[in-house]
Amino acid sequence: MNTSGRGSFSRFAQGMRRLLLGTVLAAGCTAAARAATVPLPQLGAGPVEMRVAYAINPRLPRMDAAQLATLLDAMRDAVREHFGVELRFAPVKEVPLAALFATIPARRSAQALKESYDFKSGRADRAALDRAFAQGFRDSRESLAEMIAFAQPHTGPVAADFDDLGRKVAALQLARVQQWAQRKALDGGPAIDGQPFNEFPMWLALGFGELPYELVLTNQLIAGVEYTFPAVHTAIRGGYSNGITSYGRQSRFGTFSVWSTYAFTAGDDQIVALRGGERYTPQEAARLAGISGAHEIGHQLFHFTHPFGQPACLMSPVPMFGYRAWAEKLSAKDCPIGSSPAMTPGAYRFDY
Ligand SMILES: [Zn+2]
């Protein structure tokens, strides 16, 4: 598992292979049938065309057509500048999010819901979550000492064992997901309701359904707590994901990218505080959403991972929500393709 993916806003589908192996091995399938790897896309000299959806939850704020045009222009420019590829976008298809989720195969959807911790009802098995986090950290092959060092400023002291780390990081994520659960929708009800639209595993499951897009923009707030693949970086954001790149059965390149406009359209004090004080006009919000969304295109077309600590790189994750400060540090000439292992095409294996 490449835990670097969980260390950013864009939790791409790292570890999917082991997840599925676990599921499928129990059913006794053969090795040949249970896993495959998405080949690295072969890009020709011409423009790369992407089919784009804007998946709308009508209960949440959205970008208008002018903002979407600005977003896609900014994404196209950033991809050209940083990755040397010319993107072409098909006209954006606006689709109800519910209709998109309805295409997820029932088996996948059931599995995704099993992986999601039900923080909405308060009836979920908390001890099982603690154990799952501890096991996930054990399996991550990340340094225990480094994970503890990263967690402690947020969790308080952690003993030098996976069980304590699991327990405390689970508690942190559960506490912080409440900041999302308490946000209101346009109708005054909770932004995260009984629908599974906020659940990260459901978005991964979407790629196994009928999804004829390479890029799915959405106004959905994606935040939750999962039994699978815990990460300290994810926990401190309350399980919030701005972007995801994952296996897409119908995608031209074998994976599809999700990019949420939710954190860009919101302008309330809570979000502004998470941005380190940044306030955006609708125009700047759209432009920053496009530049930062280009990061997912790097995952999709080149299978890059994350060059942590290299702020010149578009593939370097945004630490929290301060997109303006992040974008100001970008410099394509200081982060060419091949300049680090993370920036080498094929650095990540999308197994499914
Ligand atoms: Zn990423």
pLDDT value of residue 308: 82
Q: If you measure from the C-alpha of residue 341 to the centroid of ligand 1, how many angstroms do you get, rounded to a whole number?
A: 14
pLDDT below 70 — which residues of the chain? 1-34
pLDDT value of residue 144: 93
Q: If you measure from the C-alpha of residue 282 to the centroid of ligand 1, how many angstroms do you get, rounded to a whole number?
A: 24
Question: CB within 8 A of 32, min separation 6: which ones?
Answer: none
- Angle in degrees, CA 189, 265, 278, rounded to 5: 120
Question: CB within 8 A of 124, min separation 6: which ones?
Answer: 117, 118
pLDDT value of residue 35: 80
Q: If you measure from the C-alpha of residue 143 to the centroid of ligand 1, how many angstroms do you get, rounded to a whole number?
A: 20
Q: If you measure from the C-alpha of residue 12 to the centroid of ligand 1, how many angstroms do you get, rounded to a whole number?
A: 6
Distance CA 282, CA 321 (A): 16
Q: If you measure from the C-alpha of residue 316 to the centroid of ligand 1, how many angstroms do you get, rounded to a whole number?
A: 7
> Where is 260: in which H helix or E strand?
strand 255-260
Average pLDDT, the chain: 89
Give per-residue pLDDT as tens, 79-112.
999 999 999 999 999 999 999 999 999 999 999 9
Distance CA 259, CA 87 (A): 16
pLDDT value of residue 141: 82
pTM of the model: 0.88
pLDDT value of residue 26: 32
Q: If you measure from the C-alpha of residue 247 to the centroid of ligand 1, how many angstroms do you get, rounded to a whole number?
A: 14
Q: If you measure from the C-alpha of residue 27 to the centroid of ligand 1, how many angstroms do you get, rounded to a whole number?
A: 32
- Angle in degrees, CA 128, 130, 136, rounded to 5: 100
Q: Where are the domains of the chain?
A: 3-124+171-343
Helices of type H across 2-143: 16-25, 31-34, 65-83, 97-101, 106-115, 126-140
User: Which residues, by Cβ under 5 Å, contact ligand 1, an ion?
Assistant: 8, 10
Whether the Cβ atoms of residue 285 and residue 72 lie closer than 8 Å to each other: no
Q: If you measure from the C-alpha of residue 39 to the centroid of ligand 1, how many angstroms do you get, rounded to a whole number?
A: 18
- Tell me the sheet residues that pair with 48: 87
Q: If you measure from the C-alpha of residue 40 to the centroid of ligand 1, how many angstroms do you get, rounded to a whole number?
A: 16
pLDDT value of residue 343: 96
Q: If you measure from the C-alpha of residue 259 to the centroid of ligand 1, how many angstroms do you get, rounded to a whole number?
A: 11
pLDDT value of residue 5: 38
Q: If you measure from the C-alpha of residue 8 to the centroid of ligand 1, how many angstroms do you get, rounded to a whole number?
A: 6
Q: What tokens were used for 218?
A: 């959405």
